[in-house]
Amino acid sequence: MTLFRKIAPAVNSVDKIDFIEPAHQLLPGGTSFFTMYGGTQEVVKLDFSFKAGTWYESSRLESMMAASMISEGTSGKSAREIADRIDFYGAQLSSIPYYDNNYISLLSLKKHLPHLLPLLAEIIQDASFPEHEFEIIRQKRKQRALVDAEKVGLVAQRGFLRSLMGAGHPYAPVASPDAYETVTREGARSHYTRHYYSGNATLFASGDVDEAVQKMILDNFGTGWGTPYPFKKDQQQVCSSTERSYFIERENANQNAISIGKRVPAQHHPDSAGLKLVTTILGGYFGSRLMSNLREEKGLTYGIHASVVSFVRDAIFMIHAEVTAEKTEEAIREIFHEMERLREELVPESELGPLRSFLLGRMLEDFDGPFARSQSFSSLYEAGLEVGYFDQIIHAIKFTTPEQIREIARTYLDPETMYTVAAGKR
């Protein structure tokens, strides 16, 4: 075959993503089971999602500690035995707490599943929360929190979330590492008992999930386990601070951190897709306006980023940067200046063209392989969205006009509505 190296390959626009929805069934125990078959390797990934995040806590940190204790022992196996078994078969097991849902994931070669699925079922259904391991993890978490309390980037972001949502809101981080002194083994285990049961679980299986693998999953997770628990109401009051700007002092900081933003409509809102486009123009990629201004032109920061952070029940627009202490006020002024530019000036097509190509290419990455497709679908499913949402995003990327961009910026990027939190040295 002759290669014509002087002829560039054809460039095609992304018009639509033909997303194949996963097969779905409801297991007898109430678990919603999705299968995303595909790929060329004999590898399987199982992702369990439980409505057990901080939103459902009775007391702070119970969700995090429950997730941390899942693989620390069962009534029949110690934490060491579990870890050795996972390592022996070359698998990866993770338990991750988050705001709305907690996740347990297993990545393994298909041939090892007969040995690993019974172990995974035992871990999920029969976690014993041994007291010694709980105390070790609690102390480790507290020490990490003490270290994080001196990192200005984390201090600014967490202070921003507490200012925006209210200190007691489930989406707001705890204010002090001392909170780890109040979380108890009994509280974490109670959280596990209330929320880790079959009817509260969603399972996403992706990769080489053939009929044999599905039968193994049904054998290990098909019947019910745990006791259903009535959830608390789906409303939490947001108590935003009346002070929109404040500074958190850290005298030993090498640089200062800035977090700026506000609450914006969640993903169900018709402006959601367009707002993500506007946010990317402002600060969502390396060639963004904030990067061009604050990094390339003025040298105020090594990196600055703007994003829309979507939760199940809310969304937050946020800009974050770390700068030298004496340049903090200047950096804040320039950030608001770039917001005003988007509110007053039309974005030229010379800027929009490359940006559209970048965003469409990045969307394709979200569907590259069964694991990525499963992750993209699970995000939509948990937010209560249909797969047509992907087409809405593509349409917004391709066809949002400069006039519409300006109107969205005028609606959501008003500097007067922003919260600003800086941390570091005065």
Rounded to whole angstroms, the Cα distance separating 248 from 210 reads 54
Phi, psi angle pair for 404, to nearest 5°: -70, -35
Strands 256-264 and 201-207: unpaired
Beta bridge partners of 78: 73
- Residue 156 in tokens: 């600014």
Which residue's entry shows tokens 């060491």? Answer: 80
**What is the model's pLDDT at position 235?**
65
**What is the model's pLDDT at position 324?**
92
**What is the model's pLDDT at position 213?**
96
Every domain range in the chain assigned CATH 3.30.830.10: 23-221, 245-424
CA angle 107, 108, 109 (to 5 degrees): 145
Q: Which residues of the chain have pLDDT under 50?
A: none
- Residue 197 in tokens: 């049961």
Q: Under CATH, which number does the domain 245-424 receive?
A: 3.30.830.10
**What is the model's pLDDT at position 363?**
85
| pTM, 2 dp | 0.91
Q: Under CATH, which number does the domain 23-221 receive?
A: 3.30.830.10
Are 305 and 284 spatial neighbours (Cβ–Cβ below 8 Å)? yes
**What is the model's pLDDT at position 366?**
83
Rounded to whole angstroms, the Cα distance separating 66 from 194 reads 11
